[in-house]
């Protein structure tokens, strides 16, 4: 069954959706959209370092994404506004990564595949990495779900409950780095943030509880992956951007339905 590239691509897309859904909910709740974007942009530098050192793309991208996320967390509140700090680090890392790639001699690299994804070229090994990373992210989120929700609601409440908000932030940071690393092959570094934010934002108006929002976000992400791949096959469009387009259409449609329902009420 896995010999069919479309089946491998579909499984890869669903795997990324499972990893991105619960994490995307926390990104939306904590208003960390730009934080996720900065971490994703840094991953291209990890790709360049991985190719130069002949190591795993997954390991290099995750390491650099994790360093970026930790650096932002550490430097926040030290004289710069968070959006300014994220802008400087994100675009600097992306620029250094693109320059580093240009120095790689004797290595053929499809830069567009890393920027926008190449889900149709997913191998069995890639599938193992994607689903392994997704399982790890889901396990981390489930393990710390209550603590993460409490820290998201109020740091003071977290301290009163005996929790350390900085530790919960670190867990989110590690989860984000893993998700970025496994999603590079599917949607690329420029579209990872979209897969984190759009399904979660679309699910927000449908869910009554945080747990329901995470599940619905995963369903929307999986639907976007399957429908986006089908659209790419039918219309000969890029697969990664097509997946994001479907997610955006679902978001717009749900918001339009909600708006019309409010007007009738």
Tens-digit pLDDT profile for residues 16-39:
999 998 899 999 998 887 777 888
**In 3D, which of 89, 165, 180 has the Cα closest to residue 134?**
180
Report how far apart, in Å, the C-alpha atoms of 114 and of each of 16, 133, 250 are. 15, 18, 25
Q: Is the pLDDT of residue 257 over 80?
A: yes
Contact predicate 57/48, CB 8 Å: no
The token pair that represents 27 in the structure block:
């990104």
Mean pLDDT over each residue of the chain, to the nearest integer? 87
Check whether 130 has a pLDDT greater than 70: yes
Helices (H), 2-32: 5-29
DSSP character at residue 189: T
The pTM is what? 0.90
Render pLDDT for 149-189 as a digit per residue (tens, 0 to 9): 999 999 899 999 999 988 888 888 889 889 988 898 889 88
d(CA 111, CA 161): 47
Containing 61, the helix (H) or strand (E) segment is helix 57-75
Burial class of 141 by CB neighbour count within 10 A (0 to 12, 13 to 18, 19+): buried
């Amino acid at each position: 069954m896995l010999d069919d590239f479309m089946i491998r691509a579909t499984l890869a897309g669903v795997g990324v959706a499972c990893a991105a859904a619960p994490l995307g909910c926390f990104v939306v709740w904590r208003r960390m959209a730009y934080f996720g974007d900065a971490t994703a942009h840094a991953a291209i530098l990890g790709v360049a370092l991985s190719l130069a050192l002949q190591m795993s793309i997954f390991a290099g991208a995750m390491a650099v994404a994790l360093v970026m996320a930790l650096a932002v967390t550490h430097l926040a509140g030290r004289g710069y506004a968070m959006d300014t700090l994220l802008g400087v680090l994100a675009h600097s890392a992306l620029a250094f990564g693109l320059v580093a790639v240009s120095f790689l001699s004797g290595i053929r690299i499809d830069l567009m595949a890393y920027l926008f994804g190449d889900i149709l070229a997913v191998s069995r090994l890639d599938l193992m990495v994607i689903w392994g990373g997704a399982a790890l992210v889901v396990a981390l989120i489930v393990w710390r779900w209550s603590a993460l929700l409490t820290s998201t609601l109020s740091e003071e409440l977290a301290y009163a409950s005996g929790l350390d908000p900085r530790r919960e932030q670190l867990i989110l940071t590690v989860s984000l780095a893993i998700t970025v690393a496994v999603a590079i092959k599917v949607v690329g570094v420029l579209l990872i943030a979209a897969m984190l934010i759009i399904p979660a934002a679309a699910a927000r108006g449908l869910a009554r509880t945080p747990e329901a929002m995470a599940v619905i976000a995963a369903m929307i992400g999986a639907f976007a992956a399957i429908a986006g791949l089908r659209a790419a096959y039918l219309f000969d469009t890029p697969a990664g951007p097509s997946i994001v387009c479907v997610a955006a259409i679902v978001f717009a449609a749900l918001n339009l339905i909600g708006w019309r329902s409010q007007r009738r009420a």
